[in-house]
Homo-oligomer: A and B are copies of this chain.
Amino acid sequence: MAEQKKMVEEITSMDEDFAKWYTDVVKKAELVEYTSVKGCMVIRPYGYAIWENIQKTLDGMFKATGHENVCMPMFIPESLLNKEKDHVEGFAPEVAWVTYGGSEKLEERLCVRPTSETLFCEHYANIVHSYRDLPKLYNQWVSVVRWEKTTRPFLRTREFLWQEGHTIHATAEEAQEETIKMLNVYADFCENYLAMPVVKGVKTEKERFAGAEDTYTIEALMHDGKALQSGTSHYFGDGFAKAFGIQFQDKDNKLKYPFQTSWGCTTRLIGAIIMTHGDDNGLVLPPKIAPIQVVVIPVAAHKEGVKEKAQEIYENISKFARAKIDLTDNTPGWKYAEYEMKGVPLRLEIGPKDIEKNQCVVVRRDTREKYFVSLDELETKIPELLEAVHQGLYNSALKRRENMTFTAHNLDELCDIADNKPGFIKAMWCGDRECEDALKDKAGVSSRCIPFEQEQITDKCVCCGKPATKMLYWGKAY
């Protein structure tokens, strides 16, 4: 009975209702479950295993670039949150407030951290005194809370898991370098581990993080043509240092303010994976973060020697890939659908006829192509096929993004594209906030970023017609 619920025919198709398709996939692939805590979710074992793989890889990349992990409190006293003006204005409207400890009313209310700049600043003020104390390259893996009105699993939840890097440097140049370095780490991770192409750029002032001098972003394009901000890296200048009184004695014996950055990415990335690679049969996971890379399924398992051979193959594959064997009584057909739903990159079928020929059948999740592989060559062929799935996923995501990126030369063209063609819109911009607001009103698009890779489409702002030197990506976004 329980099995029936999972059959693929129950997934809404993407074209019919993309939002419902998404919800079906996260539920039926058993990534999350709802709870009685509005806007919060249970991340189930299969979903959490994806996050563990993301975390392990990124954490290794952070450590390889010299960062250390720490852990700050989850609470921020109201007076501490209030210390940096722009920052508090950005976050205060959406924080959860703790007002009671047991039966006692607190003297000062505490918010559950929506982000931890203020806590890191307080700590830096305590431990940074000399140029010898710099830089501090810190990161933490925690959850944060933002009191969102409308929520969707992974994409926007009141509590979400993330990492937040917070660094402090003696010079502005070093801090700026760090900001870009970590943006590149994110882009590298998205492309080489999640098979997800991203556009790198800087946010407009309107879209900047509260308190930042510059916010850099990587933007990915989802199946439905909406953009998803997948990681951000902020340069703070010395604004926070001044607000929090962080000073250090430099080599020249002068007391100076240090420069800071922060950068973060979240469980949103799982939403990005789903909406970049998924299809009407369910999840499609990039091999490098898939909890199961290969599932071994015996065919005609009641026949002599089949289960044993399947077990032998499974144990062999486990030496070089994350493998699973399914020896349950369910039919092979049911199992095929189940592991397609769960997005397992490779399915390995083995039956009596295959055994006779000393081979097995390997099926790619992404293209459904079948390969006959000799049992003597698994150790080379399986890793090759996993790499092929990764490349295949990346290439089709890139091709789709290219096909869904449009150029607008004037306002009419931009409105027409926004109405009729989901995707990114490239257009020139004069730099004025008014034009940014106008495009939101008239075309329903927001600025995604000023990409590092610039093009000169025209020399006029797509909105007001004044001279323009910057090309922006515009779009509808999650």
A94 to B52, CA, bound (A): 31
* A123-131, A342-350, A408-416, A424-432 - interface stretch: A123-131
A455 at the binding interface (Cβ < 8 Å): no
A92 to B69, CA, bound (A): 32
A397 to B188, CA, bound (A): 48
| Chain B residues whose C-beta falls within 8 Å of the C-beta of A92 in the assembled complex | 102
Find residues 64-115 in chain A having any chain B CB closer than 8 Å to their own CB: 68-77, 80, 92-103, 109-110, 112
A325 at the binding interface (Cβ < 8 Å): no
A119 at the binding interface (Cβ < 8 Å): yes
Q: Are A37 and B76 in contact (CB under 8 A)?
A: yes
Contact residues on A (Cβ < 8 Å of other chain), bracket: 35 or more
Instruction: Give how many copies assemble into the complex.
Output: 2
* A39-47, A305-313, A372-380 - interface stretch: A39-47
Q: Which A residues form the contact surface with B (CB < 8 A)?
A: 1-2, 33, 35-37, 40-45, 48-49, 51-52, 68-77, 80, 92-103, 109-110, 112, 119, 122-123, 126-127, 129-130, 132-133, 138, 142-143, 145, 147, 158-159, 161
Given contacts A35-B72, A92-B102, A97-B100, 14 further A-B contacts (CB under 8 A): A33-B123, A35-B73, A36-B122, A37-B110, A44-B70, A49-B69, A52-B69, A71-B161, A75-B96, A94-B102, A98-B112, A99-B99, A99-B100, A101-B158
Can you show 17 pairs from A to B with CB atoms below 8 A apart?
A2-B129, A35-B123, A36-B80, A37-B76, A40-B73, A42-B71, A42-B73, A44-B70, A74-B143, A74-B145, A74-B159, A93-B102, A95-B101, A97-B99, A98-B98, A98-B112, A100-B109
